[in-house]
Amino acid sequence: MTRRTVTAGTPGAIDEATAEDQGKALAMVQRLLRERGIRTRCQHTISLGLFADRTDEVTWPDRPAFRSWLDRYPPELTVIGPQGCCDVTVTMGPRSGCYLVSLRSTTDPQIVRSEHPEQVVDLILAAQPDQETR
């Protein structure tokens, strides 16, 4: 009999539905940026663990009991600058669902309502006027 335990309690971890919704919202911004010729990269991070439930490794093939966990973290959209470094990071607010736009030139993220992905693009273009001509 296989026993599987899934735990999700790591700080910053989100559930699968939230990760999917945030990924779709960031994909919309990524598409709008791509239309403007701006390079981006979307990163999805998970933490996966799997280990045997006992210390006796000799009988493991006969008793495949194990424990596992899978934690998902909020996806990040990174805007790649002309020198190849990260100029802007876009994430989603954990509760509000708003876009959080972190510009390299500011300390606090700019907040944009999720209904307006085009405003995220406008913020990025305003922060990097040389990107518009690419």
Percent composition of the chain: helix, strand, coil (DSSP 3-state, to 5): 25, 35, 40
| Residue 18 predicted with pLDDT over 90 | yes
Residue 9 scores a pLDDT above 60:
no
Buried residues in 29-58 as b, exposed as e (16+ CB within 10 A): bbebbeeeebebeeeeeeeeeeeeeeeeee
Per-residue pLDDT tens digits for 40-92:
999 999 998 887 666 555 555 555 567 788 999 999 999 988 777 888 999 99
- pLDDT band, residue 106 (cuts 50/70/90): confident
pTM of the model as a whole = 0.76
Residue pair 90/120 in contact by the 8 Å Cβ criterion:
yes
Mean of pLDDT over the chain: 82
